[in-house]
């Protein structure tokens, strides 16, 4: 398939480009590079040995987007483009609502004009807000207890996409709810490259391991979890990327939603220990108060994706730590 990949220069986008190309698809990337570097695309090209058409444009720019659609015939869209920092979304809500919502509205509008029917959307575990039960299933309630504008944009966009599919019976929407993506391509040449001090746990731990940061602050050890620290469902980004190929293969009219997760929870201390083992060094940490808005445990059932998409998360947390460490230690300043 010819596939438009928005946000394809980013962390999950780059890994997905590799899987798309390995499976015979032809991606075209649009990205405004607001949170990425064009070098990431060059590195992907080196891994796959083929060139990838890239357009530096903002998805909100309808005129520029239309030019890309008019020069290509797309069978599907994989929509990664969006801002994703929870903390920033609290301090800059308008930027988040306008970027994430507007870009999707513009993209849908142009997609309809050009008759593109398959749409894969990057949603997030954050739509479940406060988990109703564990492990989470796709049928659990969403929208209750979302603590930040970033999460609200994902919740709203799920609704918007479902409405568009109702109005257009041949439109195919797949909402992929990612849990906590970690790891990197095993080449060590691409990976997660946060602009500032990382907010997420694994990039923070890897920057401590490489000596860029002093120690990990563990946000609370008094949760109702086996060791008291937060438990999450960490999924290797390569497994996550493969989930998009599976979703494209099984896309059908209407709206479908899948958790992309492992079904297994790992605590903050377990992750720090696993990373230290891989990096061959002790990772210094201290326990600090809970982070506002955090839940104790969040993990989900991959059963629906297993059964319907034939997709399984195969890589372990140790492999994710090894791959992140290879990327971080070979590229201590990321793509810069």
Q: Which part of the chain contacts ligand NAD (CB under 6 A), choosing from 20-28, 31-39, 130-138, 263-271?
A: 31-39
Instruction: Rule CB under 6 A: choose which of 144, 249, 291, 310 binds ligand UD1.
Output: 291
Q: Does 230 bind ligand UD1 (CB under 6 A)?
A: yes
Q: Which one of ligand NAD, ligand UD1, none interacts with residue 151, CB within 5 to 8 A by kind?
A: ligand UD1
Name the residue nearer to ligand UD1 (CB basis): 254 or 263: 263
Active-site positions read 150
| Smallest gap from residue 171 Cβ to ligand NAD (A) | 20
| Smallest gap from residue 334 Cβ to ligand UD1 (A) | 17
Q: Cα 176 to chain center, whole Å?
A: 9
Q: Does 27 bind ligand NAD (CB under 6 A)?
A: no
Q: Does 126 bind ligand UD1 (CB under 6 A)?
A: yes
| Smallest gap from residue 296 Cβ to ligand NAD (A) | 19
Instruction: Rule CB under 6 A: choose which of 60, 104, 180, 331 binds ligand UD1.
Output: 180
Q: Which one of ligand UD1, ligand NAD, none interacts with residue 206, CB within 5 to 8 A by kind?
A: none
Instruction: Rule CB under 6 A: choose which of 187, 217, 273, 306 binds ligand UD1.
Output: 217
Q: Provide the binding-site residues for ligand NAD, judged by CB under 6 A.
A: 6-7, 9-13, 31-36, 58-60, 80-84, 99, 103, 122, 124, 178, 181
Q: Provide the binding-site residues for ligand UD1, judged by CB under 6 A.
A: 84, 86, 124-126, 151, 180, 199-201, 204, 216-219, 230, 232, 268, 291, 293-294, 298
């Amino acid at each position: 398939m010819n596939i438009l990949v928005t946000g394809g220069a980013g962390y999950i986008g780059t890994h997905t480009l590799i899987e798309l190309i390995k499976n015979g698809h032809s991606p075209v990337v649009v990205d405004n590079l607001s949170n990425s570097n064009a070098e990431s695309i060059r590195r992907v090209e080196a891994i796959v040995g083929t060139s990838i058409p890239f357009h530096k444009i903002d998805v909100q720019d309808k005129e520029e987007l239309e030019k890309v659609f008019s020069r290509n015939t797309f069978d599907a869209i994989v929509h990664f483009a969006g801002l994703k920092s929870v903390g920033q979304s609290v301090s800059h809500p308008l930027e988040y609502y306008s970027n994430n919502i507007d870009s999707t509205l513009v993209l849908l509008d142009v997609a309809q004009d050009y008759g593109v029917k398959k749409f894969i959307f990057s949603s997030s575990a954050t739509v479940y807000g406060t988990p109703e039960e564990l492990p989470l299933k796709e049928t659990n309630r969403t929208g209750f207890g979302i603590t930040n504008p970033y999460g609200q944009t994902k919740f709203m966009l799920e609704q918007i996409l479902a409405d568009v599919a109702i109005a257009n019976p041949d439109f195919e929407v797949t909402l992929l709810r990612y849990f906590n993506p970690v790891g990197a391509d095993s080449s060590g040449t691409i990976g997660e490259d946060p602009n500032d001090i990382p907010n997420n746990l694994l990039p923070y731990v890897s920057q401590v391991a490489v000596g860029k940061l002093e120690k990990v602050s563990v946000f609370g050890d008094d949760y109702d979890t086996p060791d008291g620290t937060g438990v999450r469902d960490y999924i290797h980004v390569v497994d996550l990327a493969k989930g998009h190929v599976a979703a494209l293969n099984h896309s059908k009219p209407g709206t479908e939603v899948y958790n992309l997760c492992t079904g297994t929870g790992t605590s903050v201390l377990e992750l720090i220990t696993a990373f230290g083992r891989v990096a061959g060094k002790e990772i210094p940490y201290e326990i600090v108060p809970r982070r506002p808005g955090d839940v104790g445990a969040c993990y989900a059932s991959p059963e629906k994706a297993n059964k319907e998409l034939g997709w399984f998360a195969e890589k372990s947390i140790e492999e994710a730590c090894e791959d992140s460490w290879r990327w971080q230690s070979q590229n201590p300043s990321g793509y810069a």
